[in-house]
Amino acid sequence: MTEKEGKKMKTKKVKLTPPQSSPLKRGGGKRLNAVIGYPLSHSRSPKLHNPVYELLKLNAVLSPISNPDVKALVAEIRSLPLHLTAVTMPHKQSIMPLLDSVDAAAKKVGAVNTVINKKGKLHGYNTDVAGIEYALRDTKLKDRNVLLVGAGGAANAVAYVIKQKKGNLLYLNRTEKHAEELQKRFGGIVLSFEDTTTPPRRLGTPPQLRRGGTGRLSPQGIDVIINATPVGMYPKIDDVPIPEELLDKHQAVFDLVYNPVDTKLLKLARKKGAKIISGLDMFAVQGLRQIELWTGKKIITKSLVEKVKNNLLKTL
């Protein structure tokens, strides 16, 4: 092996998987953006961003860069350079200390899903917040009991929004310790999955959440249900994150999963007569907000959101 070949092998840290039109593959003078994470087989960010770039006549392309090493990815952002970087799992938390700044909302959420490169300085944001707010724009949250299922990065953004809207947070997560971490930061009550099928183990479960004399959770005590877990995502489309018995016609049910758009949870909620909210709204708006942060221009309108959603539906 030559010295030159040896150097090539040492520096090959990042797996680039660009679409056919990407300048990462063939050059061409376009500004480079990317979505980073590991793995990236589930990501629809290029399908969201690139059509919008064409619509707005932005000379840019967004391509996937898959790598489990977040430090290598940040080095790639700086060296290429990448102007807008969408950040997905598992890097939303681990990327934060590697950036030059993180805005106040992202700090409170505890996760970054967007990095904007401004003259070599990397600034972190969380546009999931804007997406969640848009999805819940017609849902009353103040003084309502909101059951948040999950405690990962997306759940942090949901909890932040619900607290801002003065809703009452109820947490349900398989690992209760993670839900308790959310509780410390955003307030609320941690419930147990055992509460959904058997009398609660803790006397602290509020009476208004109990079903008659059984002590089990009552759907009448839950106004909004939000699934912030991947349960129900393709290919496991028959899975549901909560028992069907917790659904009721007076509720609003929001599933952050957008592939499939009509999840099993939403189908069951519709059957009960509940208001349903697809994760596609959130995904579309968080992506458009990323473009706003990059360009400095306001582009989010109802008509553009619907156009983006229709484009995405063709790819799901």
Kindly report, residue by residue over 243-275, the tens digit of the pLDDT: 999 999 999 999 999 999 999 999 999 999 999
* Model confidence at 291: pLDDT above 70: yes
275, 276, 282, 283: CA torsion to nearest 10? -170
Q: How far apart are alpha carbons 101 and 107 in whole angstroms?
A: 10
Does residue 46 have a cis peptide bond before it, meaning omega lies within 30 degrees of 0? no
Catalytic residue among 8, 15, 71, 92: 92
pLDDT at 255: 98
Q: Report all structural domains of the chain as residue ranges with CATH numbers, in order of start.
A: 3-126 (3.40.50.10860), 130-279 (3.40.50.720)
Classify 305 as helix, strand or coil: helix
Residue 125's DSSP bridge partners are 114
Percent of the chain with pLDDT over 90: 77
Q: Are 295 and 266 in contact (CB under 8 A)?
A: no
Q: Report which of 178, 182, 120 is spatially closest to residue 157, judged by C-alpha positions.
A: 182
Please name the residues in contact with 125: beta carbons below 8 A apart, sequence gap of 6 or more: 102, 103, 105, 106, 112, 113, 114, 115, 116, 290, 293
Q: Which of 23-37, 134-148, 194-208 has the lowest mean pLDDT?
A: 194-208
Q: Which two three-digit tokens encode residue 47?
A: 């399908």
DSSP per-residue string spanning 198-264 = S--SSTTS-GGGEETTTTEE-GGG-SEEEE-SSTT-TT-TT--SS-GGG--TT-EEEE---SSSS-H
Residue 179's nearest CA partner among 213, 217, 149, 137 is 149
In angstroms, the CA 235 to CA 238 distance is: 9
Q: What is the model's pLDDT at position 29?
A: 82
CA distance 54 to 47: 12
Contact 59, 30 (CB under 8 A): yes
Residue 189: partners with Cβ closer than 8 Å, 6 or more residues away: 168, 169, 170, 171, 183, 204, 205, 206
Closest CA to 206 of 223, 188, 186: 188
**Within 13 Å and on the Cβ side, how many CA atoms surround 46?**
19
Per-residue pLDDT tens over the stretch 120-139: 999 999 999 999 999 999 99
pLDDT tens by residue, 184-206: 999 999 998 776 654 444 434 45
Whether residue 117 is predicted with pLDDT greater than 60 in this model: the reply is: yes
What pLDDT is stored for residue 152 in this prediction?
A: 86
Task: Say what the pLDDT of residue 206 is.
Answer: 54
Any catalytic annotation for residue 92? Answer: yes
Q: What is the pLDDT of residues 76-111, one digit of tens each?
A: 999 999 999 999 989 999 999 999 999 999 999 999
